[in-house]
Amino acid sequence: MRRTLFAGAAALLAAAGTFTFVLTRAEAATQTLQSLAAANGRYFGSATDNPELTDTAYTAILGGGEFGQTTPGNSMKWDTTEPTRNAFSFTKGDAVVTFAQAHNMKVRGHTLLWHNQLPGWVSQLPATEVQAAMENHITAVATHFRGKVFAWDVVNEPFNDDGTFRSTSPFYAAMGTDYIAAAFRTARAADPDAKLYINDYNTDGLGAKADAMYNLVKTLKSQGVPIDGVGFQAHLAIQYGFPSQMQQNLQRFADLGVDVAITELDVRMVLPRDSTKDATQATYYSNVVKACVAVTRCVGITIWDYTDKYSWVPSTFSGQGAALPWDENLQQKPTAYNAIVTALGGTVSSPSPSVSSASPSPSRSVSPSPSASSSPPPAGSCTATYKIVGSWPGGFQGEVNVTGKTGWTVTWTFANGQTISQLWGGTVTQSGASVTVKPASWNATPPATFGFLASWNGTNAIPAVSCS
Ligand code: XIL
């Protein structure tokens, strides 16, 4: 599927409204995208798909606390759930639900009706049978997942980019625009508790397509059609500019009396990736998150998977990629990740995430300090290596690398009154000069790294660090 965007028409969104809150040490220890979003009354989620659920390094992060919501990227679509007429298969969707339930993640159902990923038999139906087949499909799928999904993308991508209805949809071809109201009514009857959404791309900012969606939602509301929300996919690309006035656009939909959500966020670039593109990408992530946070009825943000390893972008948009906040080695990109954290009101290791480099380690003007032994520890024990990776008047950033056994505890005693203000990758307790760090749930198995920010004055000696 080819996406065209209106280049040049976009203006960078200056996020209106700022908010700040200070994290206590206990809160900082558990700071995740989800915890920060939850502090704003929202969720932060990642899409996923069945093949990658066998990748344990991947699932450790997916289910490790960063995300409070997931969307199955493919497993609830028509070609998967009803490949043959009236023969339903929910195995793949159930697997995503099971993973989500085991990891405190809620599920957005995606999607009941779309012109893509339809089995051939649907397109071959005589027009007179389309409505019955459509209602049968929606009823069966929404009934199966009732109580397991909190929301459904009932209708996906009804519009062309110019705001006309997509006539290639077999539902539109058979029923005209009436298919939309019928789909929502059928979904409501099957699952009265799920929030029912319409979802599209290139509607994120003001423009002809967003106007068409706005007018449709307004009409549906005036007709009493049970629509609860509008999803903005936000498949963005830095070479096309940021959507025009995204916050205002979300707000005008909210003012119609519906929820809004960012449902499939990713920010791609023309490869190769470099630090300038990363910095631009970070501003896009920041702007989207700030737009959602600024609109009371924006209920949450979902990125379209969290890692470039499983992004749909490279196989869809030739020569493009690097769209997600974690790279293909499952490493966080400090630029994009920190931009999201900051936009959610959290605190980050780098004071200026949008200008930090693409390198995974911070580049401050202090040379790394001498560290402890790097020889492998005996079985059943562990070794921790402490270093200062950046320092500035009054503050510094430290990093500790742990090797050895799973389930480590690292301790040290500061000699010069240093105090940790924030720590990531673990849970910290500081009592006077004594520091104890235990791993975050996803970080128990070495090689593990945690980082922290701390204050210092006068002297900043490297402490002796123990691991047990
Ligand atoms: C994509 C999936 O991520 C891919 O794996 C699949 O091959 C094609 O569909 N808009 C949507 C999503 O609503 O369902 C699409 O997901 C991405 C664009």
Query: pLDDT 10s per residue in the chain (468 long)?
Result: 434 333 333 332 233 333 333 333 344 447 999 999 999 999 999 999 999 999 999 999 999 999 999 999 999 999 999 999 999 999 999 999 999 999 999 999 999 999 999 999 999 999 999 999 999 999 999 999 999 999 999 999 999 999 999 999 999 999 999 999 999 999 999 999 999 999 999 999 999 999 999 999 999 999 999 999 999 999 999 999 999 999 999 999 999 999 999 999 999 999 999 999 999 999 999 999 999 999 999 999 999 999 999 999 999 999 999 999 999 999 999 999 999 999 999 998 644 433 333 333 333 233 333 333 334 557 789 899 988 877 777 888 788 989 898 899 999 999 999 999 888 788 999 999 999 999 988 778 888 888 888 998 888 888 899 999
How many A from CA of 311 to the centre of ligand 1?
10
- The Cα 425–Cα 438 span in angstroms is 9
Residues 6 or more apart in contact with residue 75 via CB below 8 angstroms: 49, 50, 92, 93, 95, 96
What phi and psi values does residue 223 have, to the nearest 5 degrees? -90, 0
The residue whose C-alpha atom lies closest to atom 15 belonging to ligand 1 is 73
- The Cα 343–Cα 287 span in angstroms is 8
How many A from CA of 16 to the centre of ligand 1?
31
Other Cβ atoms closer than 10 A to 13: 23
pLDDT of 223: 98
The residue whose C-alpha atom lies closest to atom 13 belonging to ligand 1 is 156
How many A from CA of 201 to the centre of ligand 1?
11
Mutate to test the pocket of ligand 1, among 268, 304, 320 (most ligand atoms within 8 A of CB): 304
Residue 281 backbone zone (phi > 0: left; psi -120 to 50: alpha; other: beta): alpha
Q: How many CA atoms lie within 13 A of 271 on its CB side?
A: 11
- 264 has catalytic annotation: yes
Tell me the torsion sign for CA atoms 124, 126, 128, 132: negative
Mutate to test the pocket of ligand 1, among 166, 316, 324 (most ligand atoms within 8 A of CB): 316
Q: In terms of Cα–Cα distance, which of 376, 368, 442, 452 is closest to 66?
A: 442
- The Cα 106–Cα 148 span in angstroms is 8
Q: In terms of Cα–Cα distance, which of 290, 310, 307, 198 is closest to 242?
A: 290
Q: In terms of Cα–Cα distance, which of 123, 212, 223, 217 is closest to 159?
A: 212
Mutate to test the pocket of ligand 1, among 312, 313, 316 (most ligand atoms within 8 A of CB): 312
Chain-centroid distance of CA 296 in Å reads 19
Residues 6 or more apart in contact with residue 337 via CB below 8 angstroms: 325, 326
How many A from CA of 312 to the centre of ligand 1?
7
Residues in the chain, how many?
Answer: 468
Q: Are 67 and 36 in contact (CB under 8 A)?
A: no
Q: Which atom of ligand 1 is found nearest the CA of 156?
A: 13
- The Cα 39–Cα 256 span in angstroms is 26
The residue whose C-alpha atom lies closest to atom 5 belonging to ligand 1 is 312
CA angle 112, 78, 96 (to 5 degrees): 80
Q: Are 217 and 253 in contact (CB under 8 A)?
A: yes
pLDDT of 391: 74
Q: Which of 66, 82, 135, 157 is labelled catalytic?
A: 157
How many A from CA of 185 to the centre of ligand 1?
25
- Edge-to-edge strand list for the sheet holding 419-424: 382-392, 395-404, 448-455, 419-424
Partners of residue 231 on adjacent β-strands: 199, 261
The residue whose C-alpha atom lies closest to atom 2 belonging to ligand 1 is 73
pLDDT of 442: 72
How many A from CA of 226 to the centre of ligand 1?
25
The residue whose C-alpha atom lies closest to atom 7 belonging to ligand 1 is 312
pLDDT of 370: 34
Q: In terms of Cα–Cα distance, which of 358, 364, 372 is closest to 400?
A: 372
Pocket of ligand 1 from Cβ distances under 6 Å: 73-74, 156, 233, 264, 312
pLDDT of 349: 62
- The Cα 45–Cα 63 span in angstroms is 10
Mutate to test the pocket of ligand 1, among 201, 264, 308 (most ligand atoms within 8 A of CB): 264
The residue whose C-alpha atom lies closest to atom 12 belonging to ligand 1 is 73
Q: Which atom of ligand 1 is found nearest the CA of 305?
A: 3
Q: Which atom of ligand 1 is found nearest the CA of 312?
A: 3
How many A from CA of 308 to the centre of ligand 1?
14
Q: In terms of Cα–Cα distance, which of 309, 338, 298, 310 is closest to 424?
A: 338
Q: What is the pTM of this model?
A: 0.73
Q: Are 34 and 66 in contact (CB under 8 A)?
A: yes
Start-to-end CA span in the chain (Å): 53
Indicate the class that CATH gives domain 372-467: mainly beta
The CATH architecture of the domain made up of 11-19+27-343 is Alpha-Beta Barrel (3.20)
- The Cα 360–Cα 356 span in angstroms is 10
How many A from CA of 142 to the centre of ligand 1?
20
Please give the structure tokens belonging to residue 463: 């402490």
Helix or strand or coil: residue 238? helix
- The Cα 420–Cα 371 span in angstroms is 19
Q: Which of 66, 264, 328, 399 is labelled catalytic?
A: 264
Q: Which atom of ligand 1 is found nearest the CA of 201?
A: 10
Q: Which atom of ligand 1 is found nearest the CA of 77?
A: 14
Residues 6 or more apart in contact with residue 252 via CB below 8 angstroms: 214
How many A from CA of 74 to the centre of ligand 1?
7
Sequence spans of domains, the chain: 11-19+27-343, 372-467
Q: In terms of Cα–Cα distance, which of 278, 40, 324, 465 is closest to 452?
A: 465
Q: Which atom of ligand 1 is found nearest the CA of 235?
A: 18
